Chain A
Amino acid sequence: MSNRALQNTLAVFKREFMAYFNSPVFYVIVVIFLLATNGFTFFFSRLLDSDDVSLATRFFVWHPWIYTVLAPAVGMRLWSEEHRLGTIELLMTMPVSPWQAILGKFLAAAVIWLIGLALTFLIVGTVSYLGDPDSGPIISGYVASYLYAMACLAVTSAISAFTRSQVVCFIISVAFCLVIALIGDPGLTQTVVNAVPNGMEGIVRFISYFSFMDHFFEMTKGIFVLRDVLYFVSVIVVALLVTDLGLRSKRA
């Protein structure tokens, strides 16, 4: 990236980042995120009643479901708001390439999410105080969790490029994230495999392979495989490409 391109991306990033702090969105989402992660971990997974301090099955396991709802809530304003206010016309007639704007905005939401995720550090403190957990699975769990959130966020960014309504963007994004989480469920996959005619099992298994879940759980187990990281990165890249497509189609 040239110097100018970097400055443009940074300018968009800064504006978008500050916009989160200037509205209640950031605070509401972070509070709900922390309540949800800690609530699920302590009350449903009963972290304190067990003598197991690994976080994978009690803490990270809830993250995909929380992200399914909260990542669209963070990302829905990215482009919908520009369309609604008409500021997209300003932004796209500035000497800024669409990619600089897309990256700047996505990174702003990504850093917001990094702050939210970092604020869950207390749970790491808790298990470290109570026991002696392996740091490997915790680190890879956090990486997996963050990548999952980024994938949901990128999908939301893509959908927001197509609509001026934040509500429409939110609902479609949640539905999309939910479906892509569910298709990997082993029970569901088995049911569908039993239901479809012979020879179709391959297709069902192929579709279920696209779920975020498999890749997520592999990583939270502490198996840090490049394949899973690349999977999430490629989902993000494709979603951002679709964002570009959406912006182009609106300006056609």
Chain B
Amino acid sequence: MIQVKNLIKVFGTKVAVDDVSFSVEKGEVLGFLGPNGAGKSTTMRMVTGYFRPTSGSVNICGIDMLEEAEQAKQHLGYLPENAPLYSDMTVASFLGFCAELRGLHGAERTRAIDRVLDLCFLDSVRNQSVDTLSKGYRHRTCFAQSIIHDPDVLILDEPTDGLDPNQKHEVRSMIKRMGKDKAIIFSTHILEEVEAACSRAIIIDRGKVVADGTPESLKKLVPGANSLDEVFRSITKSDTAVKKAA
């Protein structure tokens, strides 16, 4: 359902994403791993049509993102990093606005809002201004926005960032549940999360895919490693390690 081919993104002289290709099928949850600045967010922004790739192609549900952006975006739900929200709106009016942009109107719109308020445990704050919400609620409101039209493809940039352990657990199990009939990509720093929720994982380092496989197969990549943590550390070069070598 998601097909990414030879994606390259260059900012000025810096190559942020260097020839990334992967695909995600229906029923798959793909974990996107990598150190900070590896190009995870940039890749996701190209997949969602926010950034225009320098070269390469993105295909969502058989629709080319560069050729027919609006149709492709219709199949897509996206939670950007830091969960941006319009601070002058209430939770319900924000979700209503997003529903309208997704083409849901009238009774359909009301039903969609009620559904996600319920799914994301936001009922108690539905008429509260977004400005006054705590970080966890803000995050869930933005998450609710991404699933309001029940999309086939879900792209989540650090969906558990800044949540408390209970909320993290809730989001993880929600991703796992929804992963059965959707194609999901989510990025994270937390490696247990990958084992808990993903059917497959990709590790990106310096704009390149350095590993792609099930969490189990990734563990076998590095002989003697018993956790993903060790695998991650040995195949991605951290900035500090590079500095030491130099």
A89-B45, A93-B78 given as contacts; is B84 within 8 A of A7 (CB)? no
Contact present for B86 and A87 (CB under 8 Å): yes
Other-chain contact of B78, A19, A86, A90 (Cβ < 8 Å): A90
Cβ of A50 under 8 Å from chain B: no
Contact with B along A84-100 (1 / 0, CB 8 A): 01110111111111000
Contact with B along A1-41 (1 / 0, CB 8 A): 00010011001101100110011000000000000000000
Contact present for A93 and B145 (CB under 8 Å): no
Which chain B residues border A91 with CB–CB below 8 Å?
Answer: 101
A92-B50, A93-B76 given as contacts; is B100 within 8 A of A11 (CB)? yes
Contact present for A87 and B85 (CB under 8 Å): yes
Least Cβ–Cβ distance between B66 and chain A, in angstroms: 13
Cβ of B230 under 8 Å from chain A: no
- In the assembled complex, the Cα of A164 lies from the Cα of B105 at a distance in Å of 32
Contact present for B70 and A97 (CB under 8 Å): yes
Which chain A residues border B86 with CB–CB below 8 Å?
Answer: 15, 19, 85, 87
Contact present for A94 and B101 (CB under 8 Å): yes
Contact present for A94 and B82 (CB under 8 Å): no
Contact present for B84 and A11 (CB under 8 Å): no
Other-chain contact of B70, A7, A11, A85, A95 (Cβ < 8 Å): A95
- In the assembled complex, the Cα of A23 lies from the Cα of B129 at a distance in Å of 12
- The A interface, classified by DSSP as helix, strand, loop or mixed, is helix
Cβ of B43 under 8 Å from chain A: no
Contact present for B80 and A90 (CB under 8 Å): yes
Cβ of B98 under 8 Å from chain A: yes
Which chain B residues border A115 with CB–CB below 8 Å?
Answer: none
- In the assembled complex, the Cα of A8 lies from the Cα of B98 at a distance in Å of 10
- Nearest to B99 among chain A residues (CB) is A11
- Nearest to B54 among chain A residues (CB) is A252
Which chain A residues border B70 with CB–CB below 8 Å?
Answer: 95-97
Contact present for A95 and B102 (CB under 8 Å): yes
A15-B89, A15-B97, A85-B84 given as contacts; is B76 within 8 A of A90 (CB)? no
Cβ of A227 under 8 Å from chain B: no
Contact present for B101 and A86 (CB under 8 Å): no
Least Cβ–Cβ distance between A170 and chain B, in angstroms: 19
Which chain B residues border A14 with CB–CB below 8 Å?
Answer: 97
Cβ of B55 under 8 Å from chain A: no
Which chain B residues border A93 with CB–CB below 8 Å?
Answer: 48-50, 73, 76, 78, 80
Docked complex: B35-70 residues within 8 A CB-CB of A: 45, 48-52, 70
Which chain B residues border A96 with CB–CB below 8 Å?
Answer: 70, 101
Which chain A residues border B80 with CB–CB below 8 Å?
Answer: 86, 89-90, 93
Chain B interface (Cβ < 8 Å from any Cβ of A)? 45, 48-52, 70-71, 73-74, 76, 78, 80, 82, 84-89, 93, 97-98, 100-103, 105, 142, 145
Q: List 20 interface pairs A-B (beta carbons < 8 Å), by A numbering.
A: A7-B100, A7-B105, A8-B100, A12-B101, A19-B86, A19-B88, A86-B82, A86-B84, A87-B84, A87-B85, A87-B86, A89-B45, A90-B84, A92-B50, A93-B50, A94-B101, A95-B103, A96-B70, A251-B50, A251-B51
